[in-house]
Amino acid sequence: MMNKQSEHLSKKQIEELQTNFIAWYQKKRRNLPWRQSRDPYFIWISEIMLQQTRVETVIAYFYRFTEKYPTIEALAKSDEQELLKVWEGLGYYSRARNLKKAAQQIMTEFGGVFPNEIEAIRSLKGIGPYTAGAIASIAFQRAEPAIDGNAMRVISRLYGIDADIAKPASRNVFDAVLRQLIPVEAPGDFNQALMDLGSGVCTPKKPVCTNCPLKNFCFAYQTQQQDRFPVKTKAAKPKDVYYFSVAITNEIGEYLLVQRPDEGLLAKMWTFPLVEVNREVFEAAQKNFAKEETLNLFSVAEELTLPANLPQNVVWQKRHLGEIRHIFSHLKWHVLLFYGVAQPDFVKPLKGHFVPFNEFSNYVFPKPQQKLVELLEKSKR
């Protein structure tokens, strides 16, 4: 798990490392909006937003979110569709739903005051070990590690740790090391220094070791083995899933939107109707529906047929409008967009209704739907 040459730093070395690291952070720290306060609410919101999302993207969302929901109470009372609209584009929408549930927990179980003990913080919906450690250390000065990919990469190189960071059990190895390193007088600064070092200096590829405040203590740097650490097995490839999306208009040019189920992926969000197909059907549609025939319409009865489980009593345009792809953590969506006109006997789905194009902004669209709307707009032009 750990190279014997660097298994332990002496107490004096640890103290010197802490001093150098905190000084570096105070000088080089990123100027981020959630760092202007130690309010646990703002730190919590930022940490949840930063999961799977770039810092540059989060900043605008953070301002918008905290302006609409400035307090725990405001978040607890939020309307879910409005909440998802504010979150729209960040993805992983369960994060937003869990924020509301955790805010309600704080109101009912902690009297509206964000808890300051690590176990209480961990009890909140959607908060795992990393987020709890970040909140506890930054907001409440608890000497708790915040172990994410950045922290594990830095520490694995610093100590020469070859534990596979893709395995959950390896977290215990890094937890033990970090508890030796975190200074009790500045745990929040230390954890944020790890975040900044990992994102800007000790990067996954081509780390800028000459700029690193820890280089004199770093096993990987001293032995020129930066590329060896961290050890990480490759994640499983996302599963390919294939869909036809259908933009259906009525006689006055409104488009059919349907709401997804209350649970599961993209729960309660709005999209054009989606029909799952197999790869063979998808690829045949890619090739055989003639894009150049932009004005011809065909019905499902003709030789170029669409799957029978598409909405019925629709006249379809004899081409698809293009393809979008979207990768979730475990799925890769491939979606072809078709256009059709509803006939007088068309029966809309139970959870669907026709919406004017200029009112789409009132509905919560997941990223794939936003891409489909862009395709539709492009075809109009």
Q: Is residue 257 located within the same domain as residue 163?
A: no
Q: How confident is the model at residue 352 (pLDDT cuts 50, 70, 90)?
A: very high
| Between 301 and 42, the higher pLDDT residue | 42
In a domain, 17, yes or no: yes
Q: How far apart, in Å, are the Cα atoms of 320 and each of 304, 353, 377?
A: 12, 23, 14
Specify whether 302 is located in the same domain as 190: no
Residues 290 and 353 in one domain: yes
Report pLDDT for 306.
58
Is the confidence at residue 308, as pLDDT, over 50? Answer: yes
Q: How far is CA 231 from CA 156, 161, 164, 261, 329, in A?
A: 8, 8, 5, 39, 21
Q: Which two tokens stand for residue 51?
A: 């999961």
Q: Please give the pLDDT value at position 286.
A: 87
Residues 332 and 240: beta-carbon distance below 8 Å: yes
**% of the chain with per-residue pLDDT over 90:** 84
Rounded alpha-carbon distances, angstroms, from residue 157 to 224, 231, 297: 10, 10, 61
Residue with tokens 């650490």: 229
Question: d(Cα 269, Cα 338) in Å, to the nearest integer?
Answer: 20
233 lies in some domain: no
pLDDT score, position 203 = 97
One domain, residues 248 and 222:
no
Q: Which of 176, 206, 228 is the last residue of a domain?
A: 228
**Bridge partners for 297 per DSSP:** 317
CATH assignment of the domain containing 79: 1.10.340.30
Q: Which domain CATH number covers 302?
A: 3.90.79.10
Residues 130 and 8 in one domain: yes
In the chain, the amino acid numbered 204 is P
358/321 same-domain check: yes
Which residues have C-beta within 8 Å of that of residue 178, sequence separation ≥ 6?
Answer: 145, 147, 151, 155
Eight-state DSSP code of residue 197:
H
Q: What is the mean pLDDT of the chain?
A: 92
Q: What per-residue confidence (pLDDT) applies to 174?
A: 97
Instruction: Determine the pLDDT at residue 297.
Output: 42
Number of domains in the chain: 2
Examine the domain organization and report whether 261 and 121 are in the same domain: no
The residue among 228, 248, 267 that closes a domain is 228
Banded pLDDT at 4 (limits 50, 70, 90): very low
Judge contact between 292 and 305, C-beta under 8 A.
no
pLDDT digits (tens, 9 = 90+) for 23-74: 999 999 999 999 999 999 999 999 999 998 999 999 999 999 999 999 999 9
Q: Are 314 and 223 found together in one domain?
A: no
Is the C-alpha dihedral spanning 39, 41, 44, 46 positive or negative? negative
Each residue of 241-279: pLDDT tens digit?
999 999 999 999 999 999 999 999 999 999 999 999 999
Is there a single domain that holds both residue 68 and residue 110? yes
**DSSP SS3 for 69:** coil
Based on the fold, state whether residues 102 and 197 are members of the same structural domain: yes
Handedness of CA 307, 309, 310, 311 (dihedral sign): positive
How confident is residue 318, by pLDDT bands cut at 50, 70 and 90? confident
What six digits make up the tokens of 198?
């990992």
Domain boundary among 168, 203, 228: 228
Domain that holds residue 39: 4-228
The verdict on 306 and 266 lying in the same domain is yes
Do 41 and 167 fall within a single domain? yes
d(CA 352, CA 349) in angstroms, rounded, equals 5
In a domain, 52, yes or no: yes
Residue of 120, 119, 117, 132 whose CA lies nearest to 48: 132
* Residue 7's pLDDT band (cuts 50, 70, 90): low
Residues involved in catalysis? 47
Residue 177 has pLDDT above 70, yes or no: yes
Question: 112 versus 380: which is more confidently predicted?
Answer: 112
Give the pLDDT mean for 99-120: 98
234 within some domain: no
Measured between alpha carbons, how far is 150 from 55 in angstroms, rounded to an integer?
Answer: 13
pLDDT digits (tens, 9 = 90+) for 77-103: 999 999 999 999 999 999 999 999 999
How does residue 295 score in pLDDT terms, banded at 50, 70 and 90? very low
206-223 mean pLDDT: 96
